[in-house]
């Protein structure tokens, strides 16, 4: 089992640490050039310690072009976009790949295996990779062993999952002598978010259609169970019974965003709750509301323990911007962590790099 306490030596690349950025920049390739992937390209272009060396995307409208043509970043005029990893690796050898190509741990592992075999580390926005052992325990062990063999590191990160409802409450418990229970709450104004997220929360759907899609695993917030599993893992809450339910939020007025027109009575968002019980006792509850025209967005964490803690982030953490920042800021920390399939709690404390 891959545990938080697993320790490794560094990758043997001391020049990749923050203290020696001037010696050699970290070479980064970008796999998946959707909205998040392209924003990651733009964010990385502003980092003096990093150099984008390639893009990879199966979209024929993107492959064969340059990152400058796709993103508008002038400094990336000579950085090519390839149609596959195999095509890229024949010409470019990056240190790290930023992977923004899906939510499934199983699919992501298949995409990453040839990358790992090439000795390249991966920072991924795949939600299920926050705690991949939950759904893919055997495959996680295999990937971990493959990483050790080839000297590569892998981590899944983001804002949620990846920070506000998992890593942040875990960090807060660092000043607690004991923890009885944790409650996390997140309310997101989805009107300000990208089209894919507005679609994912069911904007404009019939409520019963959204319920059916959620039951089929085709709607709702991905990675929520992984957030709960990571918290339980870190706090030593063994064999948690994790339950999840989701209901549509129904619009009480007509709503128009850049991407959707929703009439009163249609779905305008979701209310998703995950709970973890240990030996029949509820120890963790996570309450997420993402909907159009939310009036009071916020993130909150309440820890019952010694001492009690109550944190409120008024306005909440801006999801798309923070997801990109989390990925980019994880790059040097992953390289310092060494080979292996890592949890976010295996890396050093996150900070802007």
Does residue 172 share a domain with residue 297? yes
Are residues 134 and 177 located together in one domain of the fold? Answer: no
Tally the domains of the chain.
2
Distance of alpha carbon 337 from alpha carbon 8, whole angstroms: 7
The model's confidence at residue 1, banded by pLDDT at 50, 70 and 90, is very low
CB-based contacts of 56: which residues, under 8 Å, 6+ apart? 29, 30, 31, 32, 33, 63, 81, 82, 83, 84, 85, 87, 88, 97
> Do 105 and 202 sit in the same domain of this protein?
no
Domain annotation covers residue 8: no
Q: Where does the pLDDT of residue 319 fall: very low under 50, low under 70, confident under 90, or very high at 90 and above?
A: confident
pLDDT band at 320 (very low <50, low <70, confident <90, very high): confident
Q: Is residue 3 part of a domain?
A: no
87-109 pLDDT, tens digit each:
999 999 999 999 999 899 999 99
Q: Do 119 and 255 reside in the same domain of the chain?
A: no
The burial of 280, by beta-carbon neighbours within 10 Å (0-12 exposed, 13-18 middle, 19 or more buried), is given as exposed
- The DSSP line for 131-189 is SGGGT-HHHHHHHHHHHHHHT-EEEE--STTTTTTTHHHHHHGGG-SEEEEEEEEEEEE
What's the pLDDT tens digit per position in 36-91? Answer: 999 999 999 999 999 999 999 999 999 999 999 999 999 999 999 999 999 999 99
One domain, residues 312 and 326: no
Q: Are residues 154 and 201 in the same domain?
A: no
Answer yes or no: do 203 and 291 share one domain: yes
Q: Is residue 127 situated within a structural domain? A: yes
Q: How far apart are alpha carbons 95 and 334 in whole angstroms? A: 11
Asked whether residue 180 falls in the same domain as residue 307, the answer is yes
Confidence of residue 6 (pLDDT cuts 50, 70, 90): very low
Nearest to 37 by CA among 13, 16, 21, 58: 58
216 and 279 housed in the same domain: yes
Residue 23: its pLDDT value, please?
A: 64
* Phi/psi-derived region of residue 49, left when phi > 0, alpha when psi is between -120 and 50, beta in every other case: alpha
pLDDT of residue 211: 96
Write the CATH number for 30.
3.40.50.720
My answer on whether 265 and 332 are in the same domain is no
Tokens of 248: 């549509």
Burial 182-196 (b: 16+ CB within 10 A, else e): bbbbbbbbbbbbbee
Q: Is the pLDDT of residue 21 over 50?
A: no
Which has the higher per-residue pLDDT, 349 or 217? Answer: 349
Tell whether 308 and 332 lie within a shared domain. Answer: no
Q: What is the pLDDT of residues 148-207, one digit of tens each?
A: 999 999 999 999 999 999 999 999 999 999 999 999 999 999 998 888 889 989 999 999
The range of the structural domain enclosing residue 63 comes to 14-159+322-346
Q: What is the DSSP letter of 322?
A: H
Question: Residue 352: inside a domain, yes or no?
Answer: no
Residue 194 lies in a domain: yes
Q: Are residues 310 and 287 in the same domain?
A: yes
């Amino acid at each position: 089992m891959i545990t938080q306490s697993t320790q490794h030596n560094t990758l043997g690349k001391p020049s990749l640490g923050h203290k020696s950025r001037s010696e050699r920049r970290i070479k980064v390739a970008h796999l998946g050039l959707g909205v998040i992937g392209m924003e990651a390209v733009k964010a990385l272009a502003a980092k003096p310690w990093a150099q984008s060396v390639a893009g990879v995307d199966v979209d024929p409208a993107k492959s064969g072009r340059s990152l400058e043509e796709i993103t508008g970043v002038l400094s990336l005029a000579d950085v090519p976009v390839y149609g596959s990893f195999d095509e890229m690796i024949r010409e470019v050898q990056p240190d790290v790949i930023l992977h923004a190509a899906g939510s499934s741990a199983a699919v992501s592992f298949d995409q990453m295996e040839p990358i790992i075999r090439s000795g390249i580390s991966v920072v991924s926005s795949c939600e299920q990779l926050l705690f991949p052992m939950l759904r893919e325990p055997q495959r996680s062990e295999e990937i971990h062993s493959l990483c050790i063999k080839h000297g590569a590191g892998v981590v899944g990160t983001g804002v949620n999952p990846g920070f506000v409802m998992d890593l942040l409450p875990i960090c807060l418990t660092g000043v607690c002598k004991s923890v009885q229970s944790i409650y996390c709450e997140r309310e997101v104004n989805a009107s300000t978010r990208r089209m894919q997220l507005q679609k994912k929360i069911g904007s404009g759907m019939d409520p019963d259609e959204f319920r059916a899609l959620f039951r089929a695993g085709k709607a709702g917030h991905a990675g929520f169970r992984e957030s709960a599993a990571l918290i339980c893992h870190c706090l030593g809450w063994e064999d948690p019974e994790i339950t999840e339910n989701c209901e549509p939020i129904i619009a009480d007025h007509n709503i128009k965003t850049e991407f959707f027109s929703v009439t009163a009575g249609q779905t305008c968002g979701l209310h998703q709750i995950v709970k973890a019980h240990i030996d029949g006792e509820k120890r963790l509850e996570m309450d997420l509301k993402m909907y159009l025209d939310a009036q009071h967005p916020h993130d909150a964490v309440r820890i019952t323990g010694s001492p009690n803690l109550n944190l409120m982030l008024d306005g909440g953490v801006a999801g798309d911007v923070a997801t990109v920042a989390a990925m980019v800021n994880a790059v040097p920390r992953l390289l310092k962590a060494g080979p292996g399939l890592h949890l976010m709690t295996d890396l050093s404390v996150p900070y802007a790099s």
